[in-house]
């Protein structure tokens, strides 16, 4: 069964919109664990528009489940990873001004750069590289020395209601390639209550899903504890 890691960036966005400490990001993370989340994901950006570096430092000592930190590997970010020592770092290619992650790494063109970054960070934690569902990019991630890949699921989500069999096809191929290459497989970004169960059923070697925007949005209607349990039920094989 794939693990559910809850991305709490949106909780921090709400907090920052008003100032102060409501909602309390630390408490929400602990409650997510209490409600069944098997991991907590954050993505501290340079402008700290949602999760702040200070949040990351406060979260690490109190979390009991896996801590996954996403981000672009700037020197500041890599130093943070080396300080915090999370269970996993997920490398994303976002420029500082990007609203949200909107592409995977080109692991072929940027192999030399990524190989140095991965080698450095693997001394501290497990390293996952955010990639499109493209077998060449999966092979490239292996060449870079990564432990896992995280498949960027936007195209699957966008096409799910049009033709789910067609939408999932390249993800199945990428998943098989990851298994062949000895890479662990994660997925995230656009999975939801609507499309998660089918995705999970078609990707047998899925280890972890990281879900934030959809899950926090659903929690507005269903409550956080209930929503986490709803997502976990969809991950049952």
Nearest-angstrom CA–CA distance, 215 and 158: 17
pLDDT given at position 231? 98
Q: C-alpha distances in angstroms, 134 versus 15, 153, 184, 230? A: 37, 12, 15, 30
pLDDT given at position 94? 78
pLDDT given at position 96? 61
The residue range of the domain holding 62 is: 3-234
pLDDT given at position 237? 74
- This prediction has a pTM of 0.95
pLDDT given at position 147? 98
Known catalytic residues are: 43, 70, 189
Q: Looking at the 3D structure of the chain, how many domains does it have?
A: 1
pLDDT given at position 192? 98
pLDDT given at position 95? 66
Digit-by-digit pLDDT tens for the chain (237 residues) are 999 999 999 999 999 999 999 999 999 999 999 999 999 999 999 888 899 999 999 999 999 999 999 999 999 999 999 999 999 999 999 766 655 556 799 999 999 999 999 999 999 999 999 999 999 999 999 999 999 999 999 999 999 999 999 999 999 999 999 999 999 999 998 999 999 999 999 998 999 999 999 999 999 999 999 999 999 999 997
- Between β-strands 39-42 and 206-211, what pairing exists: parallel, antiparallel or unpaired? unpaired
SS3 for the chain, per residue? CCEEEEECHHHHHHHHHHCCCCCCHHHHHHHHHHCCCCEEEECCCCCCCCCCHHHHHHHCCCCCCEEEEEECCCHHHHHHHHHHCCCEEEECCCCCCCCCCCCCCCCCCCHHHHHHHHHHHCCCCEEEEEECCCHHHHHHHHHCCCCEEEEECHHHHHHCCCCHHHHHHHHHHHHHHHHHHCCEEEEECCCCCCCHHHHHHHCCCEEEEEECHHHHHHHHHHCHHHHHHHHHHHCCC
CATH code of 70's domain: 3.20.20.70
Nearest-angstrom CA–CA distance, 9 and 51: 6
203 contacts 171 by C-beta, under 8 angstroms: yes
Nearest-angstrom CA–CA distance, 172 and 55: 36
């Amino acid at each position: 069964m794939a693990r559910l890691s809850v991305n709490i960036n949106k909780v921090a966005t709400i907090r920052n919109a008003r100032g102060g400490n409501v909602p309390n990001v630390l408490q929400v993370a602990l409650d997510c664990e209490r409600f069944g989340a098997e991991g907590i994901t954050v993505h501290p950006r340079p402008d700290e528009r949602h999760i702040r570096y200070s949040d990351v430092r406060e979260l690490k000592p109190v979390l009991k489940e896996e801590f996954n930190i996403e981000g672009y590997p700037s020197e500041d970010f890599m130093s943070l990873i080396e300080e915090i020592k999370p269970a996993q770092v997920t490398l994303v290619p976002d420029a500082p001004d990007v609203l949200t992650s909107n592409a995977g790494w080109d692991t072929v063109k940027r192999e030399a750069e990524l190989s140095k970054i991965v080698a450095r960070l693997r001394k501290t934690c497990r390293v996952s590289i955010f990639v499109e569902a493209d077998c060449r990019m999966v092979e490239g991630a292996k060449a870079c020395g990564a432990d896992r890949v995280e498949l960027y699921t936007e195209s699957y989500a966008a096409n799910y209601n049009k033709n789910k069999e067609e939408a999932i096809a390249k993800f199945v191929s990428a998943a098989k390639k990851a298994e062949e290459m000895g890479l662990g497989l994660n997925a995230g970004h656009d999975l939801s209550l609507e499309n998660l169960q089918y995705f999970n059923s078609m990707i047998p070697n899925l280890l972890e899903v990281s879900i934030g925007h959809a899950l926090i949005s659903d929690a507005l209607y269903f409550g956080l504890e209930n929503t986490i349990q709803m997502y976990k039920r969809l991950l049952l094989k």
